[in-house]
Structure 1
Amino acid sequence: MVGSKLRFRVLCSLLAVCPLVSAMGAAPVLARVDVTAVGATFSSLQAGGAPDFGLTIDLSSNPASDDPKDLVITLPQGLVANPLAAQRCPIDAFNADACPAASRVGTTSVVAQIEAPLGPQVTASGDVYNLVPPAGEPARLGVVVRPPLASPQRYQVAVRLRGDRGFVIENSMSGLERTAGGLPIRIQRIQLNLTGQVAGKPFLRMPTACRRAEIAVAVRSWDEPQVTTSRATAFTPSGCERLPFRPRLSGVMGAPGATKLRSHVPVTASVISDPSDAAVAATTVTLPLALGVDLGSLQKLCQPDQFAADACPADTRVGRARLASPLLEQPLELPVYIVQRPGELPALGFRLFGGAILGRTRLGGAVTNVFEGLPDLPLSRFDLTVDGGPRGLLQAVSDLCTPRTRRDAQATFAAFTGVDVTVATPFAVDGCPAGAGAPVARTRYRIVEGLAVSRLGRAVLTLRVSASRPLGRATLALPREVAPLRGSRPIVRVDGRRLGRRALVLRGRKLELRITRPGRTIEVRWAGLRASRALAGAVARGRRAPLTVRLAVVEASGERRAFTLRVRARKL
């Protein structure tokens, strides 16, 4: 404000209009600062990569007496920095401009006009540091600007992961200076540069979805702080097909004294992933057939408005979630509630970074939980535990400790890259008494499926089945929205060996694979397919409704397994 008043007095004295303005009682002119341009650069657009990142912000003031005060930079979901990849600078060291070199994660430059007769345009450079954040904050950055012939200016950037806004990352910097070295200045450009790697460790991570992403910049001024102006720029990551996706499923059910028929059973399902892989966008987990829902436990439900307000009653809590990420010093521990869904079955839900993750429940032989809208964040492990005890949600529909207990669970994971992976694995049982028979060993499966559809209706199905034991036969049924072209045959390989035409028997939409030499991997690429007009149109419009592909396999031992695969069609 001091600089604003000084400039106003100088202007009035030069034009000799102050008395006239005062006498006329002219209405005040609303001051504001505009974001005139925003530009973003990346050294690489590889999805999930760690590129160097530059952001340029151009500003203008109207009238020129106003100055920028607060800056908010909103990064899209998935464009995150790892505060644990670099050394953290204590706040006291930052305020003394004494941060260690190992905490430096970028640079900055500010272009400003000195507001004085014949005042020059000056450029001040500086550095960006990784700071020790206050309690409750995931990260904090420190920006030091060093104007020529003036004292350094220091700004702290508060970082918030906004689950209530689609898991975008909000970076706020407040109190931008209006003077430097005692002279009024007008900031015209701010340049921020962040390094992709620090000491060989990834610091930045690109989104793992190859779709348009937006970076928004908003500014408020000193004289009119209630007015916000903003501008955005966009970019699109690429190379999703090069990003691996290798999620795994494990689980345990039961506890001492909680394994018998109709016991309330604690159950933990765990998803393990490599943080450098594509993130999981959605997951569908089907629990073992030995488990069912105790309908009596659904008498007390958290209502939708209570869940949205993070105010679920304590007696609607049914478990806990534990989330581990390389971005976090300690795993997050989150309460899980059973929540009413109008017109649907009650579902499990939890709150994450201010956002709501609410699943869907399906019953029909087995209990299935579906979670969609998961954030594009690097995770190493996610555990979801449903408690047992008198108010437990799940109960045993058979004795869990018999050798023939149906312990197989199945999960389908959808990646942000568009890849779908289905895994099947037996859950362990805890709490069986001494002398209980060992469970029958079961085969573990990993299935990667994909369906690409062109605008004209051409479709290509890919499937890779990996099993821990040899497979002797398989049958694949296409979804009703897809049909084979006349005379088309897929390319099928078993352990790398291509099957001949006589080993492929096609009847309508069903393909039978007659495998003479059993193998642990089956690969299918079926290019001669035609999609329905409705499906081709939906995919062209960007809709990715899942389709049902059915797979039945017979192991070399004679054991039979059946899978219902949910495949999301993507653009070819």
Structure 2
Amino acid sequence: MTSTGRRLGRRLLAAWAGALIALAALALAVAPAQAADEFGLVPGSFTATLSTDQAGAHPDSIVSFRLRVKDDGFSPVGGIKDLVVDLPPGIVGNPQSMPKCTPGELDTRNGGLCPLATQVGSITLDLVRADYTGPYSVTWPVYNMVPRGNKTAEFGFFVLGTPIFITVSVRPGDRGLRTEIPRIISPMPVRGTRLTLWGDPAAPSHNAMRGYRCIDVICFGGNNPAQLSVRPFMRNPTECGRPGAATIRVDSWENPGRYVTATADPITMVGCDKLAFDARLEVAPNQTAPGAPAGYTVDLTVPQSDNLRDLGTPDLRKAVVRLPAGVAINASGSDGLLGCTPAQIGLDDNDDPGCPQGSKIGTVQIKTPLLEEPLTGGIYLAQPHDNQFGSMLALYLVAQGSGVTLKLPGEIKADPSTGQLTATFDDNPQLPFTNLRLSFNGGPRAPLVNPALPGTYTTVSELTSWSGETEVSSSTFEISGPATPGFAPRLSAGVQNPAAGAFSPFSLTVARADGDSALKSIKGVRLPEGLLAMISSVPLCDAALAAAGTCPEASRVGHVQVAAGAGATPVWLPQQGKKATGVYLTGAHNGAPYGLSIVVPAQAGPFDLGTVVLRSALHVDQRTTAITADTDDLPTILQGIPLNIREVRMILDRPGFMFNPTSCDATSVDAQVRSVADAVANLSNRFQVGGCAALPFKPKLTLRVGERGKTGNRRMPPLDVTLSMSRGQANNRGVRVTLPRAFNSRLRVINDACSLEEFHAGQAGCKQVGTAVAKTPLLQEPLLGRAFFVKHPERRLPDLMVALQGQGSASLVKVNLTGKVVIPRNLSLRTNFDTVPDVPIDSFTLSLQGGKNGVIGNIGNICSAKVKRGLKAGVVFTGQSGKRVARQQKMTVVGCGKATGKKKAAGKKKSAGKKRAAKNAAKKVAKR
């Protein structure tokens, strides 16, 4: 070939490349105003005609354009280097509808001709003669090619020994088609082009152009019919009323990177009412056990016709899928789960997604008639609240293959009350497909969970096409299993160090088996008697802070662990790296003297469902001081995600807070547990400590009797009894005091006792016979109380009952002590407090009043030396450890003799002080 011929070939190459791009674009817009000597498009030179504007039809299209020329009137200003043409969404060509030409066939051995059956159109180029003496034209067939490498589709033609390929891809954004020719080898003198694509390549009307090629006035081929495919090649958009426009970007070798852009005249479709849309969606789990994690498959089918007589099937625009109630997010699936951020998915590009592997929750497969092989990829969880919807739940579908990368976002809404899921994928690509299959992961960490009850479940979907037609589709599946889920929870509780009287962390666990009904509440947790807490060592959290879950760290007494979700591997809260849980001691709550604020940040994987705050009221038994905790119901669903709580552990591990009983008797921790199905289980766990024999038990008791003027015969003296204990001992279980026979009971006072009902109703109808003060290390302030005689239906004599009440922050703490009064045969007076709570005390003082309402009377003068010598009370102490101490305790008599001088003044001062203290104590009690 001569050098002139090579130059002509290079010019033809550029010209035909530009023309084919114009064909792919269908129409190019008028270029903006340019200077006469600048490279660009002639304003108004782009035309695009379709044989029909019927939506979904298979039209022929003719596209023509001209480049700007120099002052000689025919030489173009510069040569085309790169061309990028974006087609309006919905214009598609189906390269699978007809045979393909291989790159090896498009070469000089065949004269640049592919098999006739692969021809999809022709191109006519207006060129400049090699000697630049004037214009001329060439015409050549355009072929459907076997794509080279991982390309979506390619078209090609042959020009003077050089094959030219045009690559077709799906662009990001609106997912319309993009055609590209990068780096056209050499600038060539292209004046303009006329490009024709056939909607029906087998139509007889195209026979004259099959294999037709022409250089200026010398033409070959045509009128050579062949055995051809009768399937359509081009298809119009299936949306009506909204114009779509093609755009072009082109630069030149003279100014690379300086692109000229233009927009074609809009194309608007009509006749969408003539289109037929038939879509179906089916949903099914991979296993049918109630309440089990399951992999779900979603099949969306849109039949496509390849009959030339049929209009194309409208493309799917929007899918709204409502899964059955009961199919919900599986909380355990969040363990190890990650979210994919907008930057990682890159919805606006065609790059491979950078989503972490941990965000992949399934696979996707799309079958389309446009490609030989299905597109395949993954389903990724979008980062909650950091996605284009701003929603907690969203998905990205990524399907790739044959040079195509589709990234489809969808929003998932979970009903906040039921957890029912609704998925919406809107503004889907205007590309035809026959089947889209989503396969969500199965296994113990599956993202979805089956309904909890057996039955038939229906998925309803609303599928809307770009033509405006909506198809309502429904599918059903069966869940089989027991009609009612089981509920056999277990309770375990204990202390880390089971030594009697020792400080030790305490833990309590309630758990259920996988498949059982989920936990709803844990009520009436009753601790063993003597398993108590050092309230005085903890600053109490304010009620407002407790309700908000923002208690200070100083009030923390422990933490919780919660397992949630279905399957064999529930997710545990808190997770590593997430906010810690906390249990905080509060003041009065729901009528109880103390409470707990239990704070659980519901964070797992990429989800942050907020902070759960449960309040627990800590009641103190008035007789035994045993603690009972009543806690709010557990949350069952948060932001539409059912928690399916499997296990709850509470660990109270603040140092020096919880301490063990000093009794080694076997007892239990009890609780009532309820399921979300309202099944109730009353649970009990054995509890016992050891080492009681090693505890010392050395109680001390002092008895003071008398008062000036009340020591003589038949007088009614006051009586003060004080019990004191050093710390670290076994606590008292019983104290029995038998007064010497020098005292008798005042039967009138005893018989004037109130009823047990009156006593428990607030003692309004009871006559006070004394006061009491109890100091315990558990509380910052002492308990104050009043003593009464109270009739008991099971005993002949009334009981001496002491009603103690806390002060300050412990004002709701109430403890009732019962002393059983007995008059033995020797007519002495005995009181037996045999049900003393297992509580450490520093001191306890009971002051029985004297005078006309006095409890006891003197037999003889208790100040006389003879009587004094016999004033010894029989005292028996019984420890919680089982140890027993008995002694004859000498009584101290006060108020004897006459004091003179300094002694008299000191005695009066001491007596007055004592009276003031007793009076103040009585006032505090009376104010309750």
Distance in 1 of aligned mates of 2:847 and 2:601 = 51
Q: Which residue of 2 aligns with 1:375?
A: 837
Shift of 1:113: 0.9
Q: Which residue of 2 aligns with 1:531?
A: none
Shift of 1:76: 1.0
Per-residue displacement from partner, 1:450-506 (whole Å, max 9, x unpaired)?
Answer: xxxxxxxxxxxxxxxxxxxxxxxxxxxxxxxxxxxxxxxxxxxxxxxxxxxxxxxxx
Q: Which residue of 2 aligns with 1:399?
A: 861
Q: Which residue of 2 aligns with 1:185?
A: 643
Where do 1:286-297 residues align within 5 Å? 286-297=738-749
Amino acid corresponding to residue 878 of structure 2 in structure 1: A
Where do 1:250-289 residues align within 5 Å? 250-289=702-741
Q: Which residue of 2 aligns with 1:129?
A: 584
- Higher share of residues assigned strand: 1
1:214 aligns with 2:682: no
1:53 aligns with 2:506: yes
Amino acid corresponding to residue 193 of structure 1 in structure 2: I
Distance in 2 of aligned mates of 1:135 and 1:206 = 26
- Provide closer, same or farther for how the CA distance between residues 435 and 167 of structure 1 changes in structure 2, counting only shifts above 3 A: closer
Per-residue displacement from partner, 1:203-230 (whole Å, max 9, x unpaired)?
Answer: 1111111121201121234563xx5322
Contact 1:47 1:238 in 2 (8 A): yes
3-state SS of 1:102 partner: helix
Shift of 1:18: 11
- Provide closer, same or farther for how the CA distance between residues 36 and 390 of structure 1 changes in structure 2, counting only shifts above 3 A: same
Where do 1:320-399 residues align within 5 Å? 320-340=771-791, 344-351=796-803, 353=814, 357-363=818-824, 364=826, 366-399=828-861
- Provide closer, same or farther for how the CA distance between residues 313 and 140 of structure 1 changes in structure 2, counting only shifts above 3 A: closer
Q: Which moved more, 1:231-240 or 1:173-182?
A: 173-182
Distance in 1 of aligned mates of 2:763 and 2:505 = 42
Shift of 1:407: 3.1
3-state SS of 2:617 partner: strand
Shift of 1:57: 1.0
1:141 aligns with 2:596: yes
Instruction: Structure 1: give runs of 5+ residues left out of the alignment.
Output: 20-28, 439-572
Distance in 2 of aligned mates of 1:429 and 1:279 = 29
Distance in 1 of aligned mates of 2:721 and 2:885 = 17
Distance in 1 of aligned mates of 2:454 and 2:512 = 27
- Provide closer, same or farther for how the CA distance between residues 355 and 431 of structure 1 changes in structure 2, counting only shifts above 3 A: closer
Amino acid corresponding to residue 206 of structure 1 in structure 2: N
1:239 aligns with 2:691: yes
Q: Which moved more, 1:359-368 or 1:232-241?
A: 359-368
1:79 aligns with 2:531: yes
Shift of 1:246: 1.3
Q: Which residue of 1 aligns with 2:879?
A: 415
Contact 1:209 1:416 in 2 (8 A): yes
- Provide closer, same or farther for how the CA distance between residues 211 and 63 of structure 1 changes in structure 2, counting only shifts above 3 A: closer
Q: Which residue of 2 aligns with 1:42?
A: 495
Shift of 1:389: 1.9
- Provide closer, same or farther for how the CA distance between residues 14 and 207 of structure 1 changes in structure 2, counting only shifts above 3 A: same
Amino acid corresponding to residue 559 of structure 2 in structure 1: T
Where do 1:431-510 residues align within 5 Å? 431-435=895-899
3-state SS of 1:152 partner: strand
Shift of 1:171: 0.8
Coordinate RMSD, CA, aligned? 3.5
Distance in 1 of aligned mates of 2:487 and 2:799 = 46
- Provide closer, same or farther for how the CA distance between residues 338 and 8 of structure 1 changes in structure 2, counting only shifts above 3 A: farther
Amino acid corresponding to residue 89 of structure 1 in structure 2: C
Q: Which residue of 2 aligns with 1:443?
A: none
3-state SS of 1:94 partner: helix
Q: Which residue of 1 aligns with 2:659?
A: 205
3-state SS of 2:545 partner: helix
Shift of 1:90: 1.9
Shift of 1:269: 0.8
Per-residue displacement from partner, 1:503-543 (whole Å, max 9, x unpaired)?
Answer: xxxxxxxxxxxxxxxxxxxxxxxxxxxxxxxxxxxxxxxxx
Shift of 1:8: 11
Amino acid corresponding to residue 188 of structure 1 in structure 2: R
Amino acid corresponding to residue 847 of structure 2 in structure 1: T
- Provide closer, same or farther for how the CA distance between residues 314 and 78 of structure 1 changes in structure 2, counting only shifts above 3 A: same
Distance in 1 of aligned mates of 2:856 and 2:670 = 45
Aligned pair partner of 2:610 in 134, 151, 160: 151
Amino acid corresponding to residue 890 of structure 2 in structure 1: P
Query: Percent identity between the aligned chains?
Result: 23
Distance in 1 of aligned mates of 2:485 and 2:728 = 43
Contact 2:583 2:599 in 1 (8 A): yes
State which structure, 1 or 2, has the greater radius of gyration over its C-alpha atoms.
2
- Provide closer, same or farther for how the CA distance between residues 356 and 326 of structure 1 changes in structure 2, counting only shifts above 3 A: closer
Distance in 2 of aligned mates of 1:231 and 1:47 = 24
Distance in 1 of aligned mates of 2:582 and 2:486 = 25
Amino acid corresponding to residue 367 of structure 1 in structure 2: L
Distance in 2 of aligned mates of 1:169 and 1:381 = 22
- Provide closer, same or farther for how the CA distance between residues 121 and 339 of structure 1 changes in structure 2, counting only shifts above 3 A: closer
Q: Which residue of 2 aligns with 1:15?
A: 456
Distance in 2 of aligned mates of 1:277 and 1:99 = 34
Shift of 1:137: 3.6
- Provide closer, same or farther for how the CA distance between residues 109 and 49 of structure 1 changes in structure 2, counting only shifts above 3 A: same
Q: Answer 1 or 2: higher relative contact order, Cα 8 Å, separation at least 6.
A: 1
3-state SS of 1:241 partner: helix
Q: Which moved more, 1:347-356 or 1:148-157?
A: 347-356
- Provide closer, same or farther for how the CA distance between residues 329 and 13 of structure 1 changes in structure 2, counting only shifts above 3 A: same
3-state SS of 2:888 partner: strand
- Provide closer, same or farther for how the CA distance between residues 245 and 119 of structure 1 changes in structure 2, counting only shifts above 3 A: closer
Contact 2:522 2:671 in 1 (8 A): no
Q: Which moved more, 1:363-372 or 1:70-79?
A: 363-372
- Provide closer, same or farther for how the CA distance between residues 360 and 297 of structure 1 changes in structure 2, counting only shifts above 3 A: closer
Amino acid corresponding to residue 192 of structure 1 in structure 2: M
Distance in 1 of aligned mates of 2:559 and 2:689 = 23
Shift of 1:316: 4.0
Contact 1:302 1:313 in 2 (8 A): no
Distance in 2 of aligned mates of 1:384 and 1:32 = 57
- Provide closer, same or farther for how the CA distance between residues 156 and 61 of structure 1 changes in structure 2, counting only shifts above 3 A: farther
Distance in 2 of aligned mates of 1:54 and 1:265 = 51
TM-score by length of 1: 0.65
Distance in 1 of aligned mates of 2:698 and 2:761 = 33
Distance in 2 of aligned mates of 1:418 and 1:196 = 29
- Provide closer, same or farther for how the CA distance between residues 42 and 398 of structure 1 changes in structure 2, counting only shifts above 3 A: same
- Provide closer, same or farther for how the CA distance between residues 242 and 93 of structure 1 changes in structure 2, counting only shifts above 3 A: same
1:106 aligns with 2:567: no
